[in-house]
Amino acid sequence: MAKRLQVILKDPEYREIQRVARSRHMSIAEWVRQALDLARRRDPVGGVSKKLEVIRTAAQYDYPVSDIDGMLAEIERGYGTSEHP
């Protein structure tokens, strides 16, 4: 379901957004949607304590990994191949 959002801007702010949107060949609405999406993605989800909890939980497990030289060699071998896991 879509919702309408009304934002009141001063004339200079509106004109600047309009100019930027036009320079990118998009509507003001599309520019605002993209700006809000970018801002939402940059905003950290959860606080520091939640992130630490996740890291501590993950650190309890024994994940199979190779040594750093082995991992780098695998990465290098993967470059140039069209295979994806």
**pLDDT in single tens digits along all 85 residues of the chain:** 989 999 999 999 999 999 999 999 999 999 999 999 999 888 777 778 888 998 999 999 888 878 899 889 888 888 876 665 5
List of long-range contacts for 5-8, beta carbons under 8 Å, 24+ apart = 7/32
pTM of the model: 0.52
Angle between helices 11-23 and 28-42 (to 10 degrees): 90
Residues 36, 38, 40, 42: what is their CA dihedral angle, to the nearest 10 degrees? Answer: -150
In the chain, the amino acid numbered 68 is I
